[in-house]
Structure formats: structure tokens, C-alpha cells
Structure 1
């Protein structure tokens, strides 16, 4: 919705955008709830292939067209859903909320939890409607040509989470000012903080020079203005204080009221907005410098409920992130099998824990993560001439006519569909598998933290970023005590395998396969065969890893079904001491296990 129609939601364009967003969310919900085995669509044989039905209590039934997924569940055809009550005729259905009300018995959630979920979903529909307006009139070929950050501002949200883009805490003006789909641009607010209140990268406060990191946010003139403001507003902190950038919304909504005492006694001083302009990336709290694209990205605390949890910034992510990224970068540089992997590590960071909430011991995480900033290497510094980065999420993206962006990249590359996908798998799935088997490291490489490097449309490398919570290690990995990688969360091998299987295969490739089949003519079994062969070739090339290949077996007949929406239905998201964890559904029949793919 544009500013010209901000007083009315009844314009023709807005109604069109709302209709498209509603149809997309309804189709997504049926598909994901069927994947998580909360709904059980049944084929309608008399209607022909691809027709399904759902039956609920109170004589409510749905019908729709869909294609079954090899991973389980179905992919629902947009706009095909119809609903019937009793003996009435079927009528077109457009309400996700009505579906969830009809399915209350199957969902098994309390009224409180459902009401909170509805709140997220309604807010997400508003944001998605704005996105649909930005997509209107832009064909896939045009979207595929956008620079990385501009492309991210046109992409869909998380395909697995029904309540994605919920952003509870933001209203319409906040979406316009700060959301990626609104083409937002922000300037950072700055605080200067007594160093006794801060935690900085590494065990030693001077491991990273935060003063130099500020220069990634300010050109020399702006830096001089900022320093002058410190001298004028906070002379007692001028020599020893720590400069901390904060999101302008976070300042006015959370920091000003919750840190009132520290502001009142001068332990924290608000300096105002300074420096470069930033654009929100797909992950929302990560910002890209649009004035100087080679300057570092910034990840900031942003305490809204968005896509499963409150998006603050844990202090441990700030203090350990740079060391983890550096250690991973060194490991990757020493292994020729990982030559296509480029690590975008953290340059440094700072957090300011709230003293009173910390004193409680187990206060909700959302109030313990209110001020934090991480500077991260910009992908622009690691691209060769002729290369571009696109987020893995763009593989799942279509224009409003249903044409996938990847069709443009395949065409530009001049490669066959099979060769293009093989290159994709060899530069993403294979190195992630090698990282797991050779080094005992699992990266949850989802659509936002995995970047594809394309040259003339063909995948040639990948970027990995954001390791704080998404990089874990095997309990058996032999990292030296005290090393950054030894300090990662340790998991049993069967759990760590899902960082690859669920994190990338199920969360990204599951949604790419039907687009390839529909638009490029390569059927899902052939897609899976190409993936399987790429992994098998890697196994054959590295017989020394045979024992690890057996432990991390992506070809076993059954896999755990990791369910994010089930988790959201089990507890309200007021914010406990820890972030929620996924639930397990019934075991998943592994489509990679078939001998036909070898």
C-alpha cells in the first residue's frame, strides 16, 4: 500500500494485493500443515489426478488442486481452494484464519495460543500485501537482474512458517519506515555507553577496535559530527565510552523506556541519528549500507516477534561471533574440497545487557537482548568481477505470474536445466555435506544466510554468514579445547545431520523442485536424482571419509520430520528464558533413499 491510499484499504489495487496475499498464505498453510502431518489431504479419484479434499468437524470440507511432494505433503495450486459447509455448494476460499478455525480439532492448540498465532498471521498478511504491490508489473527477468539488497526487498518470507512476516509490535507506519518490502531506508541512532555496562567481541575488550568499526557506518564528515556530539553531550564518556549503533525503532520503543535509569544517571547517553543510510535485508534486523556497499553489514537488536521468536541479539552471539567466523574461515581455506565456500565473518560487536533483568537470572530472553550490534563483512568485498550474489531464498521466488526467477538464471547461463542444477548442488549441498562429514560442523543453511554466487547466471560459489546460532558441531568433533569451534553447541550426529537435511534440503530444495518441474520441465524425481548423484560422487571421491559418511547418512530410509508450525502451536510466545525449539512429527519417508537415484 502506498502513502497515497494510507487512509483507506478499499482501493482497487489494495484489494487486488490483499487477494493475492490471502490466496498465497492459504495455499502455503494447507501445504505446510500437510507436510507436518497436522492435516491429511485425500485424493479425489473421481475428479482426476491432482484434486484433493480435506474434511473437518461440523460438516466443513475443502477441495483444491495440488501436486504431491516427494518429501511429504502437497504443493497447493494458488487460487484453487474452495470451501463447503454442510450440503451447500463449494465456494472459493480465501481465508487462512477460517481454515485454522475449521481445523482447530486437528491443531490441538489452546485458545490463547491460537489467538496469538492469528495476531502474527494477520500482521503478516498486511506485510505480504505490501510486498505483492511491489511485485506487480515486475516480471521474473527484471527481478532476477536486481542488485542483491534490492532483490531481497522483493522476496517472499519463510516458506515453512505460516506466521512468517508477523512482526508483532509494528504497525503500518513501522512497516513503511523499516520493512524491506517497503524499500525502507534508515539512519542509525547512536548511544555512548559506560564500558562497565558493555560486553564486546572476545574475552578481552580490546580484541576488536570498535572505534574503527564505527567508520564502517560514518564517512569522515559524519564521524566528525558524531565525535563533536559526544564531546558536547557526554564529556565524561568522551575518552572511555563505547559507541553503540541502535535501530531507530528499537531506541524509541524499548531502549528509551527500559534503560531510563541508565540514561537518567548518564551511564548511557543518546546522541541522535548519524552516519550512512541502511536498507533492511531479508532477515530484517540485518542492515546493508546503501551509501557505501563495501562497508560492513550491521545486525542489530530488533525486539519484535517475527517468524517464531523475538529478534533481540543474544550477548553470546556478540562476544563469540567474530572468533567463530575467523576459525571457520581458516578451516575452509585449508580444505581444497571447500574452495567454493566464502565465509562472511563478523568483524566485531557489542552488547549492553540490562542490569536489572540480568539480576533475575532467568528473565525472558526478549528483555535480556535489547541492545546489541554486530558488524559483518559485506559480500561486496568478496565478489570477483562479473559475479553477483543472490540469496538462496531467491531460488523459491516467482513473479506474480508464477514464473520463477531461476528460469532467468538458467537461460542466461546457457546451460541445460540438469547442468545448472548440478552446478547448484555441487556448490551448495556438496560443500555443506563435506563440512559435516570431514569436520563435524553443521550449518543450518536456510534461504537467508546462504548466498549463491552467480557468474553469467551459473552458480560458482556460495557465501556462508550468521554462524552464532546456525553453526553447530558434532559431539565427536576433535576441536582443541578453548578453540572457538570447540565452544559451539555440540549435538549427536543424528541431530546434526538435520542441519543439512532439514535446513537446506527440506527448507529450500523442497520448494525449488516443483518450480523446476512446472516451469522448466524437469520432474521432481529427476531433480532428486541429480542431488543424489552429486552427493554420491563426493562420497566416491573421498573414501577416507567412509566412516563419517555412514554416520551422516542422507540416504537412510526414514528421517526425523522437523516441524516449526507444530512448535508454534504448543506454547504462547510471550518469551520464555530460551527461544522455542522445533517439534517432531511422524517420521519422514526419505525420498533420497530410493535406489532409482543412484
Structure 2
């Protein structure tokens, strides 16, 4: 099994990497830059067209692909009409543009131009509708996304064949892209080139977190029912480190019992806390006690760390005041106060549900949290602001103990991964499993989609189940169950009248009836399955009918097994002809500093052009063939065991 030997990494590589000036840009060569721009222009055209921001015009037929699938030639002109982008594409379900990257040509007055993502943004900026004062920030995010794409294309690491046997963290650091829908998805504004090498997930540099002693008057600690502060510190730090930190505090003439120990991202300490919180540092309300002993690895979510010194310890998640995908990546001390209680509540709900237990579906609890309140910013600004979210932390359960013998973990983002040679991981997993594509997909739907559908219809409970927020448990390269994470900030009960304990009432949200099912339609179908479908079709693994029929069978099978919920199935119809299209890039373009107000999740949605539901008309096919469909699932399970 491929893995990263973290203990072999030289200590000097463990924090901010001090680069020579040329090293900071060594991966930026003409050939690499050209490819990065071509792929980002392809994505920008596809995603903007998907959201009806731009509307390419069909010119005529193009050569079909090897499987005989029809392609057409399209043209997209700049706002002023002086430049034209022509390309060949196939329109897939959910208005998804499958574009041949090599076919994209940019011309100006008939003369071919190099593909340039920044120029493309400027060519269509009027249609993007972004405010002039925010456009330079968006261009910065595009530049940073290109910078990261160029780096990932040359860095050493496992390619798709190696990832079939790679360990959990080797897969985590090998991913080529995060959220697939956002064009500017790797902005990370605030990082310099050295920070990128030290802290970006794909750089795979191990770090040590900074520990701070924070006064109890400003810092509130909250914990799960089965944990307390002393036990957490003992298990995460150990007696020797605690004694060392205590000596630092007492050397300042302070009483250690008046403080809590709190982790901080190294970047956050050097760039934010030591400066913006200087008043608290100078008065010993915050005392820096130094680096911890353990080494950590940044996860895909960038501000969450996995302990590679002791792989049984918890994840640590910290505030990180960099701008990325429409948010400053802070953590609210107010949200932290309810985090463990919300996690305990949802864990109890999930664990007590026989259907979810049968599916093996579970969550990773955020078992402890700490938030430091900066009174100056609180007094200055009443509204929600990133300035109030600069110093919080939480601890999340470790998933490794949930993998049994012969099982392994993999971020679900891996199902969309394509390596530098164009080899996609999903088709390789299916081939390695020995199952047919349909049988593999049946198992995947039962592990991932079925529990989400059940939570929605039975408990009004929704998550944010995109690729980075979910861990798959694999057996013989086949998903057997799913582990949901990032619970407190991104879960909700879509029933404002739900009877909940006082400390978890914020879970209940009031959203319009017409948007409730978007938790499946947008977050799962449009936000993830749209790309799974593309990969399977482009690699000749499945037709669109095979994929969406498998999705439909999973939903219809669940509904057939739960006739007591017939009224809710009718009210929230997953087989409806179409659904509202909530657009991610429109959100980011509308306000790339704070894309959404978390207190009003439905209030800021940007809609554009309903999407045709790929499940429409497929319910009856399931009913007409119910016996054979059930047999398909049984055969899939049997094939998995045999494999």
C-alpha cells in the first residue's frame, strides 16, 4: 500500500517553506501554464454556460467520439464581439457541457490567440455581473487557481494506478481539484508562495500547530457528553507538553489554572493573532506557549489537520483568515458554543435509526470546540463579519477506527479525480473491483445516496454532502458505507417547528417549501452526480441512461420500502420534471468576500433557469421491473463478496 513517510521528511520542511525567489515560480513554465489555462477556460465555459451566464451558439455538427456519441461545434463571443471562442462539446443531463479541451480555439479578428483564463474572464465580464471593485479580487482568485493547477501538474505523487492501493492520507493529498463547480476554487488569498508550499493540501507538507494559552474570561470551551477538557488535553497533548506549556505561562507570573490551551494555525498566529489580537497578547490574555510535538497534514478543506504522528488522535480544525471560494475561512466562536451539542444530537439520531445503522451510515462528531471573543471587534461591528471569526478551534473524531479488516478510507472527492495523464480514478476503481459498472454504482448509491434520502424524508435532516465533506469506506475497491463530516456548520433540520433541545435549536431553519429538496437536487445531483456522470460517459464506462437509471432505482426502491412516507414523497417529488437551479458561481460573483449569510441559508440563493430532472420519467421503469431491480442489488452484493 502506498503511503507517505512523514517521519522521513526533514524538520526544516515542516513550517513556512523559505523559498529562493526563483523557486517560488519554478513550476510556471510556458507549456505547463498553457495547459493550466486551457483546462480552466474549458471549465469556465462549461460552468458559466451551465448557469446561463453565457450562452454558446451552435455552429454545426462535429465528429462523434469513439463510442459514436454526437458532438457539435459551438461559438462564444466576447462582450464586445471582437474575440471568439470556438469548441466542440456534448450536452449531458443537467445542462452539463462536456467540452473537448483540445478543441477550444480563441481568435481575434480571425487570428488565433493563446488561451488565457484571465483574458476570458475579462472578455465576458459584463455577463458575469461582478461589481467593478470585486473584479480584481476575482482575478486574483483565478490567478491563484492557475498557480495551484500548474503546481499540481508537476509535483511528484501517486498517479491513478497508485491511488488504487494508496492509504487515506496519500489519496487526500493527491487530489487534483476541490469543489468542481466553482471556477475560482483555489483562491487562498492571503497565502504567499512559501505559505502555499507549507500549507496547501496538495503540497503535502507536515506542520506543527501553534499552541496558545488563552484566558478563560475570553475563551469558552464546549465538549461532547463523553469528553471533558482535562481528558482532551491529556489525549491530544500529553503530560510532558502540558507541563512545558504550564512553565511558560507561570514564567509570565500567571496562574495556569486561569487559562485554556488552544491550537492555532501557524499562518493565523503569525499573520493575524499576533497582530490583530496584540492587545490581548500584550496583557497576557493570550500567551504563545510554542509548537506542539505532533505533526499534522492539511486536509482538502485546508484548515483541518490530520495527526500523522499519532494516527489515532483527533482531527484539529482551526480558523484561517484567507479568502477562498466566497468566504474568509474563519470559525465563529458563537457557532462553536453549540457545536458539540449539535454533533451529539445528530449522532444520537443517526445511531438510533435502524435504516441508517443497516446502511452503516454515520457521522464524525466534532467533540470539542473553543472560541475566543475579541471584544473590540464585537463592539465595533454588530453584523456578521470575518473579523469575529479569527480565533476558534474544534476537534473532530478520527475516522480510521471505522474501517474494518480489509477496508480502507477514501475522500469521496477522489471519485472525480483525474491525474496529470488524464486517467480518471473512478473507472479504475470500478475495473479493479471486478464488478460491472452498474453493480458498482448500485453499491455506491446504497452507501451514499440512500442514507441522504432517508435523512431528508424521515428526519427533515440535510447535510452538505459534497466530495470533500464525505469519506467512503471501501472494500475490494467498492463503497460499502459513508461517513459524513463537517456537521455543526453545514447541517440543518428543514422544519422550523421541530422540537429540539435548547442547545441545538439553531439546527431548525425556516426555508421556503420550494427550495427544501434542493438539498438533494443541487447538493447531490447537480453538485456531484453531474460530474460522476460526465466521467463515466467520457471514459466509456456507462451511458447516461445507465447512470441515471441507477440513481432512480435507488430512490424508487427507498420509496417502495417506506410507503408510510407517501405523502412526503408526493410533496417533495424527486421524480418531478424539473427543479430550481441554485447557482454557485453566481453566488461567488455576487459577493466573493462573503458569499452566503449562514444565518439565512436560503436568502442569498441565486437562481437561473430550472434544470430538467434526469430522474423524471424513470420511476415507472422501476415499478415495471421491481423484481428484477431488487435482484440487481442482491447480485451486486454477491459480486462484491466474491470479489
TM range (shorter): over 0.9
Q: What SS does the aligned partner of 2:582 have?
A: strand
Matched residue, 2:316: 298
C-alpha separation between the residues in 2 aligned to 1:212 and 1:176?
34
- Secondary structure of the equivalent of 1:193? strand
* Structure 2 CA distance for partners of 1:199 and 1:220, relative to 1, 3 Å: closer
Q: Is the 8 A contact 2:27 2:154 kept in 1?
A: no
Corresponding residue SS for 1:83? strand
Query: Is 1:180 paired with 2:185?
Result: no
- Secondary structure of the equivalent of 2:53? coil
Q: Which runs of 4+ in 1 moved over 6 A?
A: 2-5, 574-580
1:403 aligns with 2:423: yes
Match of 2:591 in 1: 571
Task: Give distance in 2, aligned partners of 1:62 and 1:342.
Answer: 46
Q: Alignment partner for residue 576 of structure 2, among 549, 556, 561?
A: 556
Q: CA separation of 1:517/1:322 partners in 2, compared to 1, >3 Å: closer, same or farther?
A: same
Q: In 2, distance between residues paired with 1:207 and 1:195?
A: 22
> Is the aligned partner of 1:228 residue 2:228?
no
Query: 2:232 matched to which residue of 1?
Result: 213
What is the alpha-carbon distance in structure 1 between the residues aligned to residue 287 and residue 247 of structure 2?
14
Matches of 1:485 and 1:392, distance apart in 2: 30
Q: 370, 375, 378: which one pairs with 2:398?
A: 378
Match of 1:191 among 212, 225, 229: 212
Residues 201-231 of structure 1 show CA distances to partners (whole Å, capped at 9, x for unaligned) of: 26x9x99522322234324443443333333
What does the per-residue CA deviation read over 1:264-308, in whole Å, with 9 as the maximum and x for residues that have no partner?
Answer: 111111111122111000000011001111100011000000122
CA contact (8 A) 1:439 1:477 kept: no
Residues in 1 aligned to 2:394 and 2:321: alpha-carbon distance in whole angstroms: 15
Q: Is contact 1:472-1:489 (8 Å) kept?
A: yes
The change in CA–CA distance for 1:477 and 1:393 in structure 2 (over 3 A counts) is farther
Equivalent-residue separation in structure 1 for 2:333 and 2:193 (angstroms): 30
Aligned residues: 591
Matched, 1:591 2:602: no
**Secondary structure, counterpart of 1:484 in structure 2:** helix
Deviation, 1:108, is 2.4
Q: Could you list the per-position Cα deviations for residues 57-91 of structure 1 after superposition, in whole angstroms to 9, with x for gaps in the alignment?
A: 233211112221200140222232111112x1444
Q: Is the 8 A contact 2:218 2:373 kept in 1?
A: yes
Report the Cα distance in structure 2 between the residues aligned to 1:463 and 1:229, rounded to whole angstroms: 40
Residue 47 of structure 1 deviates from its aligned partner by: 3.8
Flag structure 1 segments of 5+ consecutive residues without an equivalent: none
Question: Which structure 2 residues correspond to residues 375-454 of structure 1 after superposition, within 5 A?
Answer: 375-454=395-474
Query: Displacement, 1:361?
Result: 4.1
Are 1:84 and 2:107 matched, yes or no? yes
2:537 partner SS: helix
- Give the Cα separation in 2 of the matches to 1:358 and 1:369: 10
The 2-side partners of 1:574 and 1:307 are apart by 9
SS at match of 1:422: helix
- Given the alignment, which residue of 137, 140, 143 partners 1:119? 140
SS at match of 2:44: helix
Residues 575 and 532 of structure 1: CA distance in aligned 2, closer, same or farther (over 3 Å) = closer
State the distance in 1 between where 2:161 and 2:613 align: 34
Let me know the Cα RMSD of the aligned residues: 2.5
- C-alpha separation between the residues in 1 aligned to 2:27 and 2:472? 37
Deviation at 1:515, TM superposition (A): 0.9
1:400–1:329 distance in 2 versus 1, CA, 3 Å: same
TM-score by length of 1: 0.93
Equivalence map 1:13-412=2 (5 Å): 14-48=29-63, 49-56=71-78, 57-86=80-109, 88-91=110-113, 93-134=114-155, 138-155=158-175, 156-201=177-222, 208-233=227-252, 235-339=253-357, 340-363=360-383, 365-412=385-432
Q: Give the Å deviation of 1:259.
A: 1.0
Match of 2:98, SS? strand
Q: CA offset at residue 330 of structure 1? A: 1.3
CA contact (8 A) 2:361 2:451 kept: yes
Aligned-partner Cα distance in 1 for 2:273–2:83? 48
C-alpha distance in 1 between matches for 2:19 and 2:205: 17
- Of residues 399-408 and 178-187 in structure 1, the stretch that sits farther from structure 2 once superposed is 399-408
Q: Distance in 1 between matches of 2:355 and 2:569?
A: 15
Q: Matched residue of 2:293: which SS?
A: strand
CA distance in 2, matches of 1:482, 1:163: 39
**How far off its partner does 1:529 sit?**
0.8
Once the 2 structures are TM-superposed, how far is the Cα of residue 546 of structure 1 from its aligned partner? 1.0
Task: Write the distance in 1 (CA, Å) between the matches of 2:180 and 2:414.
Answer: 11
Asked if structure 1 preserves the Cα contact closer than 8 Å seen for 2:91 and 2:98, the reply is yes
Change (3 A) 1:55 1:594: farther
1:594 Cα deviation (Å)? 3.0
Give CA deviations for 1:435-494 in whole Å, capped at 9, x if unaligned. Answer: 000111011201111111101111100001111221111226643352626644343443
> What CA deviation, in whole Å up to 9, does each residue of 1:85-131 have, x standing for no partner?
12x1444x421111111112322223222211101111121122212
Partner Cα distance (1:540, 1:221) in 2: 58
Provide the C-alpha distance between the structure 2 equivalents of 1:63 and 1:201, rounded to a whole number of angstroms.
56
Moved more, 258-267 or 479-488: 479-488
1:480 paired to 2:509 = no
Distance 1:575 1:587 in 2: 21
SS for the counterpart of 1:151 is: helix
Distance 2:337 2:59 in 1: 56
Contact 2:18 2:194 in 1 (8 A): no
